[in-house]
Amino acid sequence: MNILVTGGAGYIGSHTCVALIKAGHTVIVADNLCNSKAEIIDKVKKITNKDITFYQIDVTDEAAVDPIFLKHKINGIIHFAGLKAVGESVEKPLQYYYNNLVSTMILSKSCLKYGVKKFIFSSSATVYGENTVPFVESMKLLLTTNPYGETKAMSERILTDIAKANPDWSLTLLRYFNPVGAHESGLIGESPNGTPNNLMPYITKVVKGQLKKLSIFGNDYPTVDGTGVRDYIHVMDLAEGHVAALNNLTEGTHIYNIGTGKGTSVLQLVKAFEEANGIKVPYEIVEVRPGDIAECYADTSKAKRELGWTAKRDIVAMCRDAWRFENS
């Protein structure tokens, strides 16, 4: 199939492009490079030995999106493009609501206009709000704790309503957890522009001496060691989850958690990184970050049962691959 991957030069998007091409699909990428680099596309080409059509556009711009659908016979969309920093979303809510919701609506409009009926949306565990862990797809969604999470929940509602109004649509909402690690080649990984918002690139920049020490946001949560607990998943497991979802797309709306089903605290991840790579990570405890919750991990039984997908790589592999990427 010809798959349009929005945000395909980004961290998760680029790894998913690799997995899609490996599975025999043709990839067209649209990305405005606000948090990625054009060279990532060249690296994906090198890994896969396949060509990729790349459009440097903003998918909130309908006039820029339309020509892609006119030029290519798009069979499906995987929509990653969006702003994704929880803390920044609290500081800049309007920017997040505009970017993340308008992009979803523009792409949906294009799908209806050009008869594209397969849509996979990059959602997030943040849509569960402060529900009790482990999070299950059937849970009633509570008010999220930050604007970023709310844009994901609202996008889910928009897409679900469109699918209801168009019964021949095949919509899958993937609620994934905390991706870390990198492709085993070391060519692509998590490399955000500016100061990282996610934990693993923050750790690697500290270890490389680019940042002084790791800031851990709070140590008095009701968790195993007081630090926040998350479900860290290897980015290639996550990418392969998208391929499994694409291979199992059927009419209607389908929701899946994509995680490992295991919670790991920030300090446990730091220790795993130190053990995996033989390097100490200096850190300090700072104030809790606005919008964060204490625990977040998945019940992944539905994805295993219906998609035949389960995460294969452990936390040590995540840490080793992340460090290999930083040193490649």
- 101: confidence class by pLDDT, cuts 50, 70, 90: very high
User: For residue 267, what are the contacts with CB-CB under 8 A and spacing of at least 6?
Assistant: 216, 225, 227
Mean pLDDT of the region 71-77: 98
pLDDT reading at 233 higher than 90: yes
What does residue 219 show for φ and ψ, rounded to 5 degrees? -135, 25
Please give the pLDDT value at position 325: 94
- In Å, how far from its chain's centre is CA 8? 11
State the chain's mean pLDDT as an integer. Answer: 95
Please give the pLDDT value at position 280: 96
Among 169-173, 198-202, 281-285, 312-316, the least confident range: 198-202
Please give the pLDDT value at position 324: 95
- 130: confidence class by pLDDT, cuts 50, 70, 90: confident
- 17: confidence class by pLDDT, cuts 50, 70, 90: very high
Interatomic CA distance for residues 213 and 202, integer angstroms: 9
pLDDT reading at 72 higher than 80: yes
Active site residues: 148
Please give the pLDDT value at position 93: 97
CB 187 within 8 A of CB 258: no
Hey, what domains does the chain have and what are their CATH numbers? Answer: 2-181+232-259 (3.40.50.720)
Interatomic CA distance for residues 198 and 245, integer angstroms: 25
Peptide bond between residue 67 and the one before it cis (omega within 30 degrees of 0): no
Among the listed residues 132, 82, 170, the one whose alpha carbon sits nearest the alpha carbon of residue 299: 132
Identify the H or E element spanning 19.
Answer: helix 11-22
Mean pLDDT of the region 219-232: 96
Interatomic CA distance for residues 33 and 224, integer angstroms: 38
Q: Which tokens is 135 given?
A: 């999070």
